[in-house]
Amino acid sequence: MSDQRFRAIMLIGMPGVGKGTQGKLLGRTPDIFHISTGEILRSLPAETSEGRLSADRLSRGQFIPDDLMIEIWQRWLAKQIQSQSFLPSEQILLLDGIPRNQHQCQMLDDHIRVVQVIHLACPSDDLIVHRLKLRALLEGRADDSDEAIIRQRLEVYRHETAPVLSFYPPAVVHQIDPLGSPAEVLQRILECLTPIMNQLNVDKDSLARIRLEVMSAF
């Protein structure tokens, strides 16, 4: 296996637990490069076959086929490296929405080295349904407006994505309570991230900058 794999931290949790919010906040620091798979898929041109397939699958609460998803993700990441938006030698990937299942974990294992998994573990489906319906109103997200589709997505998550947690060593998996304000959840995540960031030789000044930059959003 190549030792040139990209270092990565993974955000995982049911739809609606706040992965996107936390990913964007953490991505404000130069040391972390946030990748939202959902945003990548929604940005695909609607007139392309990939765009049509993505829109159709998202509207029905289903995933993109693994081979195509990994291809889209790798192509997008290669563009970020080419444009120097992502600097692999200086930044850590923050994965949001990938890998979606254990097969994708295996497919990505030659390309990324997951150093920490942040599991936003929500205890209530009803809370998730409420959050996603509210997001649909605020952001015009059609895939969040239908309760039947939301509950289908939660079932897909349980059967396909939750097993991802067992793919990685228990020592790197951290359970985080996603309830509360974004600032409160962010603080819990940062408490987990600080030790691993130290191990990755991110200096203390940079860690302090992470806290200042992400907390300034509030």
Read off the pLDDT of each residue in 92-99 and give the average, rounded to a whole number.
Answer: 94
Phi, psi of 83 (to 5 degrees): -85, 0
What is the pLDDT at residue 1?
A: 41
Please state, in angstroms and rounded to a whole number, the distance separating the CA atoms of residues 167 and 169.
7
Are 195 and 35 contacting, i.e. CB atoms less than 8 angstroms apart?
no
Chain segment 36-46, per-residue pLDDT in tens: 998 899 889 98
State the pLDDT confidence band at 120, using cuts at 50, 70 and 90. Answer: very high
What is the pLDDT at residue 189?
A: 92
Which of these ranges, 5-19, 28-42, 133-147, 172-186, has the smallest mean pLDDT? Answer: 133-147
The tokens describing 18, both together, are 């706040």
Give me the amino acid identity at 34.
H
Picking from 197, 199, 218, 181, the residue whose alpha carbon sits closest to that of residue 30 is 197
State the pLDDT confidence band at 210, using cuts at 50, 70 and 90. Answer: low
Chain segment 146-171, per-residue pLDDT in tens: 888 888 889 989 999 999 999 999 99
Class of the domain covering 6-215 = alpha beta
Q: What is the mean pLDDT of the chain?
A: 86
State the pLDDT confidence band at 201, using cuts at 50, 70 and 90. Answer: low
Give the H/E segment covering residue 120: strand 112-120
